[in-house]
A and B are shown apart, each in its own frame.
Chain A
């Protein structure tokens, strides 16, 4: 049994007390003395040339301090892109400038043109209406394939075309892959869309810039998943502020789902304007603004093909994907459809030959970047839809086709043909577990019961693999990352034994304050209540890379383990001195140091006090104090995997799909807090189901956002789902991090969309609607009805 608050315990989340009682401290709760407010005047056309801007009337209005245009940012850099992709011809990607305020052209609805700073937000907004912007409207490019057509209007006049890159992976495999298709016994293909999504965290983005003229130093409070990354990007590339003069604080953050990884124009604006105006400057996004200024997610069009031999073994896989970049390159945009997507195309299978082609395209739409899962949901959706289609076309059981082609438990570590090496896994085990929990055997009976009520019941399966715990820095460096991806931790033991941990990870809902304390409590054997986790402030945490890619525990937790081990080593030396024994003979158990084989012992607090009040202390050999910092750089990604089962009922009259059961059997390696893991899976499942059935970000052909509010963008709600069966008892611990953990934050959103769609197709086929081989997400009632009647 785990200790109440050690590793393995479902300790309640300590942060929830303040969140649930309304006492969280979010960026919008920060109001600085003398603060002014900014409102951004944003483009309402998708593509246009700015012929002139007249701000004079606005500047004369009540309360207005200054109206900024791009002219005010001539000395500033553009917002940098953190990843450079090299295409299949060896050329680096086309990388346009991303100005803070539009320069010369507007490139998407929502592109900021001017920023009005005034005493109050309402004054700023009023004044923005008085600005006259003369825009010559240009024909926009919205559809990706049209954007690549000869003679298409260019989003960026200084680039050769709207093609950011044409990436091939593994380019050297291409001929062999094509040859395998020539000789295949069966070829199955599918064209599909991975729908564009808006992350919509509950808390919209906020930025407060502050400037201290006496110290010439800047502070930015922002809704970020990675304040150190923002400090580096904004300081070094945009505003030219050295790190020691720039502090970035991300306090409580109300969800991010990826959209708060990136460095945004509004952050740089508020930081800069605070210096110009010598007053704090605050921006709080409205929900409407979030729809047109937060980076969107997904938006891929793919053709995927699978070759099989006569015995139904997968022999080759190839894909052609168009990935929307939007109008500018958001911070990590180029990496998502490439290294976070192509490397996962083996899925759980032994497919020996794989070729992935991705064309990244600029369009007059909001930039697209990582969203929960980032690349892996796109990969998983293609593979698992296609395998299901293959089973149907070949007339074999979808479970059996998968099992036959699974990498087996004895094949790990497994080198895939798409560069990555899976360290552990047991896909047969997770599949078996899911089918058992789903009562797959009883499905037919339940289906018959539904049929009596005129409803079509279906069962859909998906098995996913994902790579998280991003990432070995030397590897991602070779792949084009312009950053390292280690994580950091400082463990400061206080004199009386309490412990302050400073992590480079960032919690925006994940529960780090609880989980990380459990890890340290378990290692030392003290109560978790004596441990405090600090994160989010560059002035007190070591340089860390933040939270995304399900990396916090696998990478950030490992850094904490490393630093805590250094603490324990030193504490043992101090204990050895106090107990007059050799350090090798000292054992630490339940917060007590003892000499092996004796009854001599000293408490944790006796040692910590000695460290800070070193009266009886080996000062010649050991520094006083007890504080250690560690950086951990992983040697591989981690590879969570799992089997998902979705049972639905479909109303053939209306096309409406009801999810009756959802079963997730995940292998996350070791588990620190099962309750938090389940919560993460629940959240991921809801977002994945949202993508599959409801969420859709749609532009019209003029680049106007048709789904620009919750009146038209369907967020999943509590009554859309009925609870989940979540299991994580299949454990193959990660082999290369000290906790043996893999990460669980994105799995739900990765594995669920294909399970849902497969269930719908299954229901339709069982009812005889065999002409429906695919329906593009989201499977809204209208689309399902149209597919049945099409």
Chain B
């Protein structure tokens, strides 16, 4: 790790101001950023910690909308969203290990947009709204490929707004070593239709599986997608699985998610 300055603001406004400085970067749970700094792959001069800002934390419900502050930890989501949005709470409870869940945050995960991360599947799979200090971004516009998002330089995610589905579940097949998602599928059923989002599988990051959405929208049962298969082009191929294997897992995990949601 190289030397850096740590700023710990207590309001969003102070954080935004601090981030305007030269080579400054937000630090949330640090579960991604700190390891990359230790490996000297990342060397910001200033870290602006978001974890001391009360307005960025907590889970609240209003009608059918669940709003989660960006600096809310995975452990807090697992606990506090359990009654209102069990599919999301279960996803949060499967991220990493207790140490990671007690530090890592939803905002950090979505800002990072790791192609194998779990939260992007929930955000895209529910059509969530990513709220930042300057605007609101629809999930469909937010995710722009591996580690790439619609966020501008210095823009901070402040909250994520989910519209609570009638039924939902996340089915995650573990990459054996990292235990991120080798392939993870989030399905959510709404009156208007079903959304299916897949993480871990594609070279383009999280994506929606349109054919499965169509099939499940008319019949929300595992049988509805029995004949469907996801194409293997542009799937990730690495030590842990071929493109064909990942494409196959998309089908398996989608079925399992539907069963779990049902």
Contact = CB atoms under 8 A, between A and B. Distances in A.
A394 interface: no
A786 B242 contact: yes
B178 interface: yes
Given A707-B239, A780-B240, A782-B241, A713 B177 contact: yes
B176 A780 contact: yes
B176 A694 contact: yes
Interface stretch (B76-84, B138-146, B191-199, B244-252): B244-252
Contacts of A288: 39
Contact of B177 (A653, A712, A781, A789): A712
Interface of B: 1-2, 39-40, 173, 176-178, 182, 239-242, 245, 248-249, 252
Contacts of A786: 242, 245
Contacts of A20: none
Dominant secondary structure of chain A at its interface with chain B: loop
Interface string A710-744: 11111100000000000000000000000000000
Dominant secondary structure of chain B at its interface with chain A: loop
B50 to A, nearest CB: 25
Interface of A: 122, 125-126, 288, 653-655, 694, 696, 698, 706-707, 710-715, 780-782, 785-786, 789
Contact of A654 (B1, B40, B177, B252): B252
Nearest to B241: A782
Contacts of B242: 782, 786
30 contacts: A122-B1, A125-B40, A126-B2, A288-B39, A653-B252, A655-B245, A694-B176, A694-B177, A696-B239, A698-B239, A707-B177, A707-B239, A710-B177, A710-B178, A711-B177, A714-B176, A714-B177, A715-B177, A780-B176, A780-B240, A780-B241, A781-B173, A781-B176, A781-B182, A781-B241, A782-B241, A782-B245, A785-B248, A786-B242, A786-B245
A786 B252 CA distance: 15
Question: Which among B39, B177, B178 has the greatest number of chain A C-beta atoms within 10 A?
Answer: B177
Given A694-B176, A710-B177, A710-B178, 19 more contacts: A122-B1, A125-B40, A288-B39, A654-B173, A654-B249, A696-B239, A698-B239, A706-B239, A707-B177, A712-B177, A712-B240, A714-B176, A714-B177, A780-B240, A781-B173, A781-B182, A781-B241, A785-B245, A786-B245
Contacts, number: 44
Nearest to B255: A653
A789 B252 CA distance: 15
A712 B178 contact: yes
Nearest to B253: A654
Nearest to A780: B176
A609 to B, nearest CB: 55
A154 to B, nearest CB: 29
B34 to A, nearest CB: 15
Contacts of A654: 173, 249, 252
Contacts of B2: 126
Nearest to B240: A782
A116 to B, nearest CB: 15
A126 B252 CA distance: 48
Question: Which among A126, A713, A782 has the greatest number of chain B C-beta atoms within 10 A?
Answer: A782
Question: Which among A126, A653, A710 has the greatest number of chain B C-beta atoms within 10 A?
Answer: A653
Contacts of B39: 288
